[in-house]
């Protein structure tokens, strides 16, 4: 049956940053250029003293990042994709309060010289090791404006034992480096000139995601808490990178 909906484009997107609706013929967009932004740092990416960077340059010889994940003191959720009657409000809240934590790694682009559109599915390719027999790694992407406000865009998590999918648990060897793929889902945002992309990497985002107690026990019945020593790699051998769906403009 022909009606107005049948005549309309199959995809309609709202693009944040520009705050406009846009009609498209498919999703993901066929013109997407998937671009890797590699993680870098010189003196460390932890907390308020972070010099972590995101650039398109492939890393060479670089230090690794270390932090301790204590499930008794998880990184608190600030807005974002909460829903369904939870105690915390959802939305594009400022993520700066979590930048003061030593268990949060921060990687930012330089201030953009021109607008950058990121529309589609985002993935973090993370090379990491842990002292635990199971743990989580989390990622969060924010749009930082000229005032420093770090507006939430999207986030994701991977549980080490389910790194190959939720249908089968795989043990990990403490201290061994693994490649983890963190799905940050999709967004549609124009990072305006003068803004920065900022990536937060940690091992918790609570209560948005249930804590991993690092014990390897069942998530439903575990009561033993272990502190995990986490190491994140970003060098020539282990080039951790944020894969962004860049849309040419």
The architecture CATH gives domain 33-247: Sandwich (2.60)
CA distances, 70 to each of 41, 67, 79, 136, 220 (Å): 24, 10, 22, 11, 18
Per-residue pLDDT of 37-67, as tens digits, reads 999 999 999 999 999 999 999 999 999 999 9
pLDDT at 27 over 70: yes
Task: Give the model's confidence band at 119: pLDDT under 50 very low, under 70 low, under 90 confident, else very high.
Answer: very high
Please give the average per-residue pLDDT across 106-127, as a whole number: 99
Q: In angstroms, rounded to a whole number, what is the distance separating the alpha carbons of residues 220 and 124?
A: 27
Question: What was the pLDDT predicted at 65?
Answer: 98
Q: Are 12 and 22 in contact (CB under 8 A)?
A: yes
CA 50 remoteness from chain centre: 17
pLDDT in the model for residue 84: 65
Whether pLDDT at 185 is above 90: yes
> Rounded to the nearest 10 degrees, how much is the dihedral formed by the CA atoms of 86, 123, 148, 128?
90
Render pLDDT for 224-247 as a digit per residue (tens, 0 to 9).
899 999 999 999 999 999 999 999
Three-class DSSP category at 105: strand
Q: Which long-range contacts (CB under 8 A, 24 or more apart) does 173-177 make?
A: 174/129, 174/130, 174/131, 174/132, 174/133, 175/129, 175/130, 175/131, 176/129, 177/127, 177/128, 177/129, 177/233, 177/238
Per-residue pLDDT at 129: 99
Domain regions of the chain by residue span:
33-247
What pLDDT is attached to residue 89? 85
pLDDT attached to residue 6 = 74
* Residues 210-228: tens digit of each pLDDT: 999 999 887 777 778 999 9
Tell me the average pLDDT across 130-157. 98
Give me the mean pLDDT over the 98-117 stretch. 98
The predicted model scores a pTM of 0.95
pLDDT of residue 87: 73
Residue 118 has pLDDT above 90, yes or no: yes
What are 142's strand-pairing partners? 152, 198
150 has pLDDT over 70: yes
Question: Residues 86-92: what's their mean pLDDT?
Answer: 82
Q: Any idea what DSSP says for residue 167?
A: T
Instruction: Say if CB 16 and CB 188 are below 8 A apart.
Output: yes
- Average pLDDT of the residues in 10-27: 97
Q: Above 90 in pLDDT, residue 82?
A: no
């Amino acid at each position: 049956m022909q009606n107005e909906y049948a005549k309309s484009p199959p995809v309609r997107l709202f693009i944040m940053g520009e705050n406009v609706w846009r009609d498209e013929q498919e999703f993901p967009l066929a013109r997407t250029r998937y671009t890797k932004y590699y993680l870098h740092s010189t003196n460390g990416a932890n907390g308020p003293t972070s010099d972590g960077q995101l650039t398109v340059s492939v890393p060479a010889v670089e230090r690794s990042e270390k932090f301790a994940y204590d499930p008794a003191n998880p990184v608190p959720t600030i807005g974002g994709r909460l829903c369904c009657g939870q105690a915390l409000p959802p939305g594009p809240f400022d993520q700066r309060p979590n930048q003061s934590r030593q268990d949060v790694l921060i990687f930012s682009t330089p201030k953009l010289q021109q607008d950058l559109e990121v529309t589609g599915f985002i993935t973090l390719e993370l090379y990491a090791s842990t002292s635990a027999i199971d743990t989580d790694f989390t990622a969060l992407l924010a749009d930082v404006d000229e005032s420093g406000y770090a507006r939430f865009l999207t986030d994701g998590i991977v549980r080490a034992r389910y790194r190959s999918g939720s249908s089968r648990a795989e043990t990990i060897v403490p201290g061994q480096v693994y490649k983890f793929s963190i799905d940050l889902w999709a967004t549609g945002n124009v990072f305006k000139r003068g803004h920065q992309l900022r990536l937060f990497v940690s091992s918790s985002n609570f209560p948005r995601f249930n804590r991993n107690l690092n014990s390897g026990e069942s998530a439903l019945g575990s009561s033993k808490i272990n502190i995990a020593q986490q190491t994140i790699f970003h060098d020539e051998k282990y080039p951790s990178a944020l894969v962004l769906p860049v849309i040419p403009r």
